[in-house]
């Protein structure tokens, strides 16, 4: 009798399959060990993000049409002085002890967006930063087109944006920048935008006793508030200007900057991938004064 055997698969096919499987395994391993998610690349259009997933600076990248955030040369241009970072769930798991050991003295952490989104890494980041000795605070990504400033300020204060005089808590931040989901100024007139920001500030101060810090860019503020000077004596300014210059361009209506976000492509031990780097305009004693409202 003859025994019939199944024809052997060609060797080339075997190697192709083996390499495909190996590639998939390596990709999964890298994703599981990095602990961080790659922030969406906005390219020349809108970023591929779902509502609630906005992060500090995403609107700037859209406005600039950047693919890489900005030239990497800017990442190391301002690393003297009192250094900080800002983070959200896009950074994944963070080793805050390593962050503090790398010389980072302060951080702002995304807590909320609009009136229904809470960052799922906020609780762990906020607590772990505290125990690592990082002076930290929370930030709220503004959505002026979906509810009032007062409603969003109260949502923020109730979900991470509160303040306490414990030597390690900074006042909350209103992140108001180019709309990553639609029209640059969220469909509001300059008068309406001024009222929205003022209402947010008033409600936040009523809840926390603190003036909210405003994060923005010169281009957004000047366009969408019409060079408004109404926050001149109220809110510290956190300006975003990704540049290698020795100082940032600040919005009309503010006397100076308190914090400068000088790059979105920084690196810090304890954080996987790129992270925003920031510089405080003063000494550590002045940073503590901001934290403790003294």
Q: Is the pLDDT of residue 23 over 70?
A: no
Task: Give the integer Cα–Cα distance in Å for 90 and 73.
Answer: 23
Burial of 121 (0-12, 13-18, 19+ CB in 10 A): buried
Provide the pLDDT for residue 38: 57
List the alpha helices (DSSP H) in the chain. Answer: 11-34, 58-64, 96-101, 122-131, 149-158, 190-208, 218-224, 284-292
Q: Which among 53, 70, 113, 175 is annotated as catalytic?
A: 175
Contact 267, 85 (CB under 8 A): no
Q: For residue 265, give the nearest of 61, 47, 59 by alpha carbon.
A: 61
Provide the pLDDT for residue 37: 55
Q: Which among 86, 113, 119, 276 is annotated as catalytic?
A: 86
Residues 6+ apart with CB under 8 A from 233: none
41 is annotated as an active-site residue: no
Tell me the pTM. 0.84
| Least confident stretch, 23-27, 108-112, 149-153, 183-187 | 23-27
Please state the rounded mean pLDDT for residues 114-133. Answer: 98
Q: For residue 39, give the nearest of 272, 291, 277 by alpha carbon.
A: 272
66 is annotated as an active-site residue: no
175 is annotated as an active-site residue: yes
SS3 content of the chain, % helix, strand, coil (to 5): 35, 15, 50
Q: Which among 113, 119, 177, 276 is annotated as catalytic?
A: 177
């Amino acid at each position: 009798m003859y025994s019939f055997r199944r024809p052997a698969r060609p060797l080339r096919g075997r190697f192709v399959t083996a390499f495909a499987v190996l590639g998939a395994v390596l990709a999964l391993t890298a994703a599981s060990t990095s602990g961080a998610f790659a922030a969406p690349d906005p390219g020349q259009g809108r970023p591929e993000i779902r509502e609630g997933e906005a992060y500090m600076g995403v609107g700037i990248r859209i406005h600039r049409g950047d693919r890489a955030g900005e030239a990497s040369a800017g990442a190391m241009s301002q690393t003297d002085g009192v250094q900080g970072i800002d983070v959200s769930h896009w950074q994944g798991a963070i080793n805050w002890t390593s962050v503090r050991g790398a010389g980072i003295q302060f951080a702002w952490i995304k807590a909320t967006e609009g009136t229904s989104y809470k960052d799922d890494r906020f609780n762990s980041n906020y607590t772990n930063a505290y125990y690592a000795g990082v002076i930290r605070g929370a930030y709220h990504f503004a959505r002026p087109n979906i509810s009032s400033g007062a409603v969003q300020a109260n949502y923020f204060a109730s979900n991470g944006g509160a303040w306490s005089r414990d030597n390690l808590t900074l006042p909350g931040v209103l992140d108001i920048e180019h709309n990553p989901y639609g029209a640059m100024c969220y469909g509001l007139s300059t008068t309406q935008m001024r009222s929205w920001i003022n209402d947010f500030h008033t409600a936040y101060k009523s809840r926390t006793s603190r003036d909210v810090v405003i994060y923005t860019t010169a281009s957004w503020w000047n366009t969408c508030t019409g060079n408004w000077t109404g926050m001149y004596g109220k809110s510290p300014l956190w300006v975003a200007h990704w540049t290698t210059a020795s100082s940032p361009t600040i919005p009309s209506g503010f006397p100076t900057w308190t914090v400068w976000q000088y790059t979105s492509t920084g690196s810090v031990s304890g954080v996987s991938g790129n992270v925003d780097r920031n510089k405080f305009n003063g000494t550590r004693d002045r940073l503590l004064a901001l934290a403790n409202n003294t």
